Amino acid sequence: MPRSRSAALAAAWLLALLEAPGAPARGPQEVPPAGTFAERLEVSEALLDVLVTDRDGNVVLGLGPADFRVRVDGEPAEVSAASFYSNRRFLDAAGAARLGLDPAAVPDRRTFVLFFDDQRLESFDNPELRQRQLQAGRDAVAWLRRELAGNDRVAVVHHDVRLKLQQDFTGDLEDLERAIGRAARGQDPPEDWPSRQRPADDSPSLAASLPAPPELARATADVHEAMTVLADAARAVPGRKNLVLFTTGFGDLGPGGVFRPDPRYDPAMVRALNSANVAVYTVDLVPHATRHQFEAFFGYLAGATGGLPFLDVVDFSIPLARIARETNGYYLVSVRLRGALEGGAYREAEVEVGNPEFRVRSRRGIGFAAGG
């Protein structure tokens, strides 16, 4: 809670106490210590976005609450509802009517964030990294030309020494192509900051929740911080957010010089992403057939947030097509919690379905950020 609001609440509480009938005469009073007053926000129900596919990676339709098994902190939790979200183009093609699904009644927006972890500083030693980043941008543009549906919304960001919002959520392909080009080349957004303007249509907005540029620069010097700040901004965006992270990996190197989660940064980053329903699809920019120290990073971050890792990539259009196919549909599962989840708390979550032939992926935690 902002300090000014805490002070105002403290003053109002003290005044009411002094003016209450039978209150002692006013005199020197003990002032409650700073931090005594704080918001207490509780939830008894949480939502988990769950991807269910068959062995070939095709989205499974027609599941209901009874098909899901959820454990929270290792204990069974009651599933009260399960709603299917999809783009209607997929439902029409999948013969949804045979399963009793009305495509017109299914929420149909997919939300993507393309995040370019800028490799310009690394490319002095390895120019191929720079070319790989540019190729990822070209393949991303081609992917959107083929895949972007009418109600899909895409945002573009990149990080070098700070997080830069190249384009807020939009369905405008020309704006997205320009933004991806800037991000892949490591360029700054235009000086007039069009990306920070609220969308004119009903698109969600990252700009509305991101700090102003000077503060944003201070808060996102490290890429872990950038991912955390971005996740916090995405909390206000409804539904599942699919973040495609083009990177060579980042974090701590443990014994043997290989990646290990950094307790100073990684848990907080993962919790922020899970609390905001952001699934991370990690796409490796390291050249094909090259072993490197951060290979374990890709599985760690994707697995913790309900995404997928893509290593040893030859053609970026392949992982992008896989991401598009599996995000054609997902379930939003409502779970009743045993005991309220207070603001700032976090609980581990596991999801299964009754049919062992199906593959299930979901974020591994339920978080509720303090302050709402």
What are 275-315's pLDDT values in tens digits? Answer: 899 999 999 999 999 999 999 999 999 999 999 999 999 99
What's the CA gap between 76 and 87, in Å, rounded?
31
What's the CA gap between 262 and 253, in Å, rounded?
8
Q: Which domains does the chain have, with CATH numbers?
A: 1-38 (no CATH), 42-107+330-367 (no CATH), 111-327 (3.40.50.410)
The β-bridge relationship of strands 278-284 and 309-310 is parallel
The encoded tokens of residue 170 equal: 């939009």
Picking from 153-157, 189-193, 200-204, 329-333, which range would have the lowest pLDDT averaged per residue?
189-193
Count CB-CB contacts under 10 A for residue 263.
9
Residue written as token pair 């299917």:
84
| b/e 97-135 (16+ beta carbons within 10 angstroms → b) | eeeebebeebebbbbbbbbbbbbeebbeeeeebbebbeb
The β-bridge relationship of strands 241-247 and 111-117 is parallel
Instruction: Give the model's pLDDT for residue 238.
Output: 87
Q: Are 334 and 91 in contact (CB under 8 A)?
A: no
pLDDT tens figures, 217-226: 999 999 999 9
* Region 181-210 average pLDDT: 79
Instruction: Give the model's pLDDT for residue 123.
Output: 54
Closest residue by Cα to residue 311 from 337, 292, 330: 292
The amino acid that residue 43 corresponds to is V
* Whether residue 6 has pLDDT greater than 50: no
62 CB-near residues (< 8 Å, 6+ apart): 99, 100, 101
What pLDDT band is residue 16 in, cutting at 50, 70 and 90? very low
**Burial class of residue 268 in the structure, from the number of CB atoms within 10 Å of its CB (0-12 exposed, 13-18 middle, 19+ buried):** middle
Please give the model's pTM, rounded to 2 decimal places: 0.81
What's the CA gap between 18 and 325, in Å, rounded?
64
